Structure 1
Amino acid sequence: MKKITMVMFLLLGAVFLNAQKIEIKDDNVLLDGKKILKSEKINVFQYSFYTLDDNEILMFRMFDNETPQYQADDYYVINFLEQRVKVQCTDFSRVVSGLGMNSKKNMEKLMAWLLKEKVITPEGTVNADKVAVFYDKYDEKILERTVR
């Protein structure tokens, strides 16, 4: 029994040691302390991300679907600007951290997700092939289903 417990702790330790730390500090996206992107908070619902040489590559925006009191129809869009791809999604568990009131923490969670999916590289570039895969996996085509 002790051997099984030790193996479990070693496996968990290895997982945590390999985890990359994402932080947004002073409008910079840091990966393990190294600056990979710049960020700009437009408002509580919108962020833009730039390469280190100021090319805008990504925009995140949340929408309340014009029903602020009814949250079940809320969604967000991740706009990959150079690829002209918009991913529309309702799964806020991937981008909302804790109670969701800290937009900086939410964007750190978004960046961690994009890095995990290899859409954003550790060098701060967008992998266009992975954007297509990301779109296929997560886009819910919200606006196509919305009657206006």
Structure 2
Amino acid sequence: MTAKKLFTLFLLILSFHLYFSQEAIIKDDKVLLDGKQILKVEKINVAQYSFFSMKDDEEILLYKYMDNETPKYVNDDYFILNFLTEKVKIESTDIGKIANFMNSRKGMEKLIRWLIKERVLTHDGELNPERVAIFKEKYDENITERTVR
């Protein structure tokens, strides 16, 4: 394959990715997806965020970061996604899914993109109950139940 064909293929793949990727940003207590507000957000502290529905202003998702009472030891840290309206709680140590070098707003933007990619959250900011159940099966590690206190 010639360099010209490889370059054209690379540009095609890049443009396809850029076309289908969506920009989720948090600005002024709003979650914007491609410029359209889909959720309201409240930063409770660096380790806790609440997300609210646009339709009825109901809290639909609570995010918490848990250091497992060992602030200097990060290997046991995890996060909790509590889908309040669905009564589903997910605990995961896969911090890489949302980590963004101590910038909690950027981490929450990454979380929203992840939930949209997994189709847990629709493009209108609504939870998909079937996908929430699948998401729980895929990512929940049930850390609280496994931890001896």
Residue matched to 1:51: 53
Residue type of the partner of 1:117? Answer: E
Residue type of the partner of 1:124? Answer: G
Is there any run of 5+ residues in structure 1 with no aligned partner, and where?
Answer: none
Is there any run of 5+ residues in structure 2 with no aligned partner, and where?
Answer: none
Q: CA deviation at 1:12?
A: 1.5
How many percent identity over aligned positions? 53
Residue matched to 1:123: 124
Residue type of the partner of 1:29? Answer: V
List 4+ stretches of structure 1 deviating above 4 A. none
User: Distance between the aligned counterparts of 1:88 and 1:4, measured in 2?
Assistant: 43
TM-score (ref. length: structure 1): 0.96
> CA-to-partner distance for each residue in 1:13-37, whole Å, 9 max, x for gaps?
1111221000000000000000000
Give the 3-state SS of the residue equivalent to 1:82 in structure 2: helix
User: Distance between the aligned counterparts of 1:72 and 1:112, measured in 2?
Assistant: 25
> In the comparison of the two structures, how many residue pairs are matched?
146
TM-score (ref. length: structure 2): 0.95
Residue type of the partner of 1:21? Answer: E
Q: CA deviation at 1:66?
A: 0.8
**RMSD of equivalent CA atoms:** 0.8
User: Distance between the aligned counterparts of 2:84 and 2:96, measured in 1?
Assistant: 23
Residue type of the partner of 2:146? Answer: R
